[in-house]
């Protein structure tokens, strides 16, 4: 086991990596990370990804678990991803009804960067490093998640069959974090994305912002 260095040096290193990937990054203290019970209800009632991915509810931690876990850390790094890579400018009519795979490059950009920063910090000696991404996981290329494929009762024990167990992390919202309020606490004002005729997934523009989090101690 290596001995961790100064956390300020590590933050500088991770910031450089993130910005090299076109990502904005800001430091946040744990008490400014907002966790609320209502967030899980938005996943449970309204999201088409519910129960279909191991980074989503009901597999993700409960808000109370998340709050206790966050409070064990001294530092968080909030990341903002602007735009939709690989898609350029698009209209609602370009987005298919089953749009999860259509946003694949965006989801990999967010979750891949979070995983890289967590892994970098871990091997630099910050062994408590842990990341929270965004969106339902999409690591199983051309396949559905094991959770979606499995019939019958939704059960935590299915996680042992995950094909990418080393990479999958819960999204911030899946774990009960209020992403809007948390982003506001570092000066980022987020807005809900308008959709054509208020139809689920048919967003009207590509100027969207995605948020992730890495915790350090």
pLDDT tens-digit series, residues 151-207: 877 778 888 888 999 999 999 999 999 999 999 999 999 999 999 999 999 999 989
Q: Structural domain of residue 131, as residue ranges?
A: 7-216
Rounded to an integer, the average pLDDT of 43-70 is 94
Query: Per the domain annotation, does 183 fall within a domain?
Result: yes
Express each pLDDT in 29-40 by its tens digit.
999 999 999 999
Q: Which of 114-128, 142-156, 194-208 has the highest mean pLDDT?
A: 114-128
Q: How far apart are CA 152 and CA 108, in angstroms?
A: 29
Assign 53 a pLDDT band (cuts: 50, 70, 90): very high
Q: What is the mean pLDDT of the chain?
A: 93
Residue 151: predicted pLDDT: 83
Rounded to an integer, the average pLDDT of 52-67 is 94
Assign 123 a pLDDT band (cuts: 50, 70, 90): very high
Query: Per the domain annotation, does 52 fall within a domain?
Result: yes
Query: Per the domain annotation, does 96 fall within a domain?
Result: yes
Q: Cα-flanking dihedrals φ and ψ of residue 72, to 5°?
A: -85, 0
Express each pLDDT in 83-98 by its tens digit.
999 998 899 999 999 9
Query: Per the domain annotation, does 153 fall within a domain?
Result: yes
% helix, strand, coil for the chain, step of 5: 35, 15, 50
Q: How far apart are the first and last CA of the chain?
A: 16
Query: Per the domain annotation, does 2 fall within a domain?
Result: no
| Separate counts of helices (H) and strands (E) for the chain | 6, 4
Rounded to an integer, the average pLDDT of 57-77 is 97
Rounded to an integer, the average pLDDT of 92-116 is 95
Among residues 129, 77, 78, 87, the alpha carbon closest in space to that of 107 is found at 87
Query: Per the domain annotation, does 34 fall within a domain?
Result: yes
Rounded (10°) angle between helices 104-123 and 7-20: 150
Query: Per the domain annotation, does 202 fall within a domain?
Result: yes
Query: Per the domain annotation, does 1 fall within a domain?
Result: no
Rounded to an integer, the average pLDDT of 204-211 is 94
The one-character DSSP state at 202 is: -
Residue 23: predicted pLDDT: 98
Residue 210 pLDDT greater than 90, yes or no? yes
- Residues facing 130 on adjacent strands: 215
* Contact (Cβ atoms closer than 8 angstroms) between residue 33 and residue 177: yes
**pTM of the complete model:** 0.93
Residue 2 pLDDT greater than 70, yes or no? no
Residue 75: predicted pLDDT: 97
Residue 1: predicted pLDDT: 44
Residue 143 buriedness (CB in 10 A; 0-12 / 13-18 / 19+): exposed
Residue 5: predicted pLDDT: 67
When divided into structural domains, the chain yields a total of 1
């Amino acid at each position: 086991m290596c001995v961790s260095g100064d956390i300020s040096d590590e933050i500088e290193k991770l910031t450089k990596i993130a910005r090299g990937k076109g990502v904005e990054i800001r430091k946040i203290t744990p008490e400014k990370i907002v966790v609320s019970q209502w967030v899980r209800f938005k996943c449970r009632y309204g999201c088409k990804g519910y129960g279909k991915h191991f980074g989503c509810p009901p597999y993700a931690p409960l808000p109370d678990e998340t709050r206790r876990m966050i409070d064990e850390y001294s530092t968080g790094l909030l990341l903002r991803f602007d735009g939709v890579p690989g898609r350029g400018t698009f209209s609602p009519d370009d987005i298919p009804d089953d749009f999860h795979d259509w946003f694949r490059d965006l989801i990999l950009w967010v979750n891949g960067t979070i995983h890289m920063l967590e892994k970098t910090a871990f091997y630099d000696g910050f062994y408590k490093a842990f990341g929270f991404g965004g969106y339902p996981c999409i690591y199983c290329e051309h396949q559905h998640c094991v959770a979606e494929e499995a019939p019958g009762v939704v059960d935590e024990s299915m996680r042992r069959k995950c094909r990418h167990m080393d990479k999958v992390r819960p999204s911030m919202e899946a774990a009960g974090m209020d992403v809007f309020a948390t982003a506001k606490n570092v000066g980022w004002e987020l807005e809900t994305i308008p959709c054509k005729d208020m139809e689920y997934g048919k967003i009207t523009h590509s100027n969207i912002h995605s948020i992730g989090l890495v915790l350090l101690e």
